[in-house]
Amino acid sequence: MVRELAYDEVFDAQKHFRQLLGSMARPGKINRIEPVVLAPAPGLNAASVLVAFALMDADCTFEVAGMSQGEASYISSNTNARRTDVKHAHFIFAQGTESPYFLDSADCGTLLYPDTGATVVLQLEEASASPLASGLKLTLVGPGIEGASTLWVRGFNEDLLLALQARNAEFPLGLDTILTFMDQSGAPCIAALPRTTRVVWEKC
């Protein structure tokens, strides 16, 4: 399995972690992650990989819903995180087109420790601050958003949005979501949908 030697586990991780924090603070804002030359497993995009590298270590557990053992081995080899079932996973990686079945047992935390809820990393075909044909228009409201913000996405199953909405209905319990995709130039990008963000959508 590929061990990424170009990634600096201190400097790159710190830089990308700060970028992730900025995304969580401003839900729906598209942020380009500074790229690193990588060779991800076929089912993973570079943005998801950089999220994993920045946030995960040997104390973390994860699952790759709908993906193969190759993707799981790649993440384990490069982060030392342990693969487990969805119920016990701190991080869950999936395609945005995946059926929402895996969210049924995802850990939403407890009233005493809501911060232990899982983070879902969803890979999209495309996302934009401008309208996209044949996609979804997401209108976001909540902390970190002045009034409302709009995000257009492609490759996001509406049933997944419904499932996330249901799992986040009992704040402070819920799932934080990081959307990952590659822009037209091939650069890794992310946009965050924290559990505090309310989403209304319509087809474009």
DSSP string, 120-182: EEEE-SEEESS--TTSEEEEEESTT-SS-EEEEEES--HHHHHHHHHHTSSTTS--EEEEEEE
- Percent of the chain exceeding pLDDT 90 equals 97
Q: Read off the pLDDT of residues 53-70 as tens digits, 9 standing for 90 and up.
A: 999 999 999 999 999 999
Q: Read off the pLDDT of residues 102-124 as tens digits, 9 standing for 90 and up.
A: 999 999 999 999 999 999 999 99
141-174 b/e (C-beta count within 10 Å ≥ 16 → b)? bbebbeeebebbbbbbbeebbebbeebbeeeebb
Domains present along the chain, CATH in parentheses = 11-126+157-196 (3.40.50.11310)
Q: What is the DSSP pairing of strand 82-83 with strand 61-64?
A: parallel
Q: Read off the pLDDT of residues 148-168 as tens digits, 9 standing for 90 and up.
A: 999 999 999 999 999 999 999
CB 13 within 8 A of CB 4: no
pLDDT at residue 1 is higher than 80 = no
**Model-level pTM?**
0.97
Confidence of residue 202 (pLDDT cuts 50, 70, 90): very high
